[in-house]
């Protein structure tokens, strides 16, 4: 499978067309952004780690019955995925308070919820990805009621599979962002990536941050945190 023309360059990945109109190749970059694009930098080795970790997790989810866009890992940074039409929603699941949840509701980080929460942002950079509810998503015609129900059920299923997996490697899955897409037949699959860029990971014993918060908050040890997550997942 060969790349033909570049279709899109995002903040963290490039997307290329292939000779098969139903497949695209994603190429993961080391570029990192945060704070709504205001903070820019490089995390050496991030592209390869996110690519490999995302592919591993997508395959684990497939085994557990969650349909995903994953097709084939080509090399360290590049993967063939099914081309989807992205549903313009960022779907965020939380198990423990952190980040914008703690800030918005004036609570400390680290409160363990009795049940996971779900929230949606309208994926629109110009509007800074505003928080919306399901009725807003329907009014804006971002997805149908049936699609929203499917997405919610899939997102909670992803959470239960990943939460258990990460706990088994000594990591608390605090929160994460998912994106879903439509295949040509209209069915919904999990798309984009699952990585330390899109999840908060805390060491189960020490609560040490092992994710992009180290970059967002200028904590140092960013590359080491990504490497540590890679070692835990792949046991290397």
Residues forming contacts to ligand ADP in the complex (CB under 6 A) are 8, 10-13, 15, 24, 69, 81-84, 86, 179, 181, 191-192
The entry of ligand ADP, ligand UDP, none that residue 24 binds, CB within 5 to 8 Å by partner kind:
ligand ADP
The entry of ligand UDP, ligand ADP, none that residue 209 binds, CB within 5 to 8 Å by partner kind:
none
CA separation for the pair 126, 145 (Å, rounded): 25
Among candidate residues 209, 229, 228, 231, the one with its CA nearest the CA of residue 220: 209
- 222 forms part of the interface with ligand UDP (CB under 6 A): no
Residue 113: half-sphere exposure toward Cβ, Cα within 13 Å? 17
On whether the CB atoms of residues 32 and 217 are closer than 8 A, the answer is: no
On whether the CB atoms of residues 199 and 173 are closer than 8 A, the answer is: yes
Stretch that binds ligand UDP, among 21-29, 92-100, 165-173, 202-210 (CB under 6 A): 92-100
CA separation for the pair 24, 116 (Å, rounded): 33
The entry of ligand UDP, ligand ADP, none that residue 181 binds, CB within 5 to 8 Å by partner kind:
ligand ADP
Residues in the chain: 236
CA separation for the pair 101, 150 (Å, rounded): 24
To the nearest whole angstrom, how small is the minimum distance from the Cβ of residue 123 to ligand ADP?
Answer: 7
Among candidate residues 75, 61, 68, the one with its CA nearest the CA of residue 26: 75
Cβ-based nearer residue to ligand ADP, 90 or 119? 90
Cβ-based burial of 112 (10 A; exposed 0-12, middle 13-18, buried ≥19): exposed
The entry of ligand UDP, ligand ADP, none that residue 10 binds, CB within 5 to 8 Å by partner kind:
ligand ADP
The one among 92, 137, 189, 222 contacting ligand UDP by CB under 6 A: 92
Cβ-based nearer residue to ligand UDP, 80 or 173? 173
Pairing of strands 199-203, 85-86: unpaired
- 193 forms part of the interface with ligand UDP (CB under 6 A): no
To the nearest whole angstrom, how small is the minimum distance from the Cβ of residue 20 to ligand UDP?
Answer: 28
The entry of ligand UDP, ligand ADP, none that residue 198 binds, CB within 5 to 8 Å by partner kind:
ligand UDP
CA separation for the pair 160, 164 (Å, rounded): 6
To the nearest whole angstrom, how small is the minimum distance from the Cβ of residue 23 to ligand UDP?
Answer: 24
Residue 2: half-sphere exposure toward Cβ, Cα within 13 Å? 3
To the nearest whole angstrom, how small is the minimum distance from the Cβ of residue 158 to ligand UDP?
Answer: 13
Q: Nearest to ligand UDP by Cβ — which residue?
A: 99
Binding site for ligand UDP (CB under 6 A): 90, 92, 98-101, 129, 175-177, 198-200, 212
């Amino acid at each position: 499978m060969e790349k033909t023309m570049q279709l899109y360059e995002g903040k963290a990945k490039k997307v290329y067309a292939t000779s098969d109109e139903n497949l695209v190749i994603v190429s993961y970059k080391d570029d990192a952004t945060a704070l709504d694009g205001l903070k820019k930098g490089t995390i050496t080795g991030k592209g390869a780690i996110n690519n490999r970790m995302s592919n591993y997790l997508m395959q684990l989810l497939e085994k557990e019955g969650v349909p995903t866009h994953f097709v084939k890992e080509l090399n360290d940074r590049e993967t063939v995925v099914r081309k989807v039409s992205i549903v313009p929603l960022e779907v965020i699941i939380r198990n423990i308070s952190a980040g914008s949840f703690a800030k918005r509701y004036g609570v400390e980080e680290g409160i363990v919820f009795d049940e996971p929460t779900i929230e949606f942002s309208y994926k629109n950079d110009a509007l800074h990805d505003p928080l919306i509810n399901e009725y807003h998503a329907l009014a804006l015609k971002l997805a149908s009621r049936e699609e929203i129900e499917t997405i919610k059920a899939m997102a909670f299923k992803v959470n239960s599979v990943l939460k258990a997996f990460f706990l088994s490697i000594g990591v608390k899955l605090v929160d994460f962002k998912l994106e879903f897409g439509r295949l040509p037949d209209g069915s919904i699959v999990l798309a984009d990536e699952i990585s330390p860029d899109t999840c908060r990971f805390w060491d189960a014993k020490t609560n040490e941050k092992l994710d992009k918060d180290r970059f967002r908050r200028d904590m140092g040890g960013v590359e080491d945190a990504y490497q540590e997550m890679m070692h835990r997942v792949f046991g290397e």
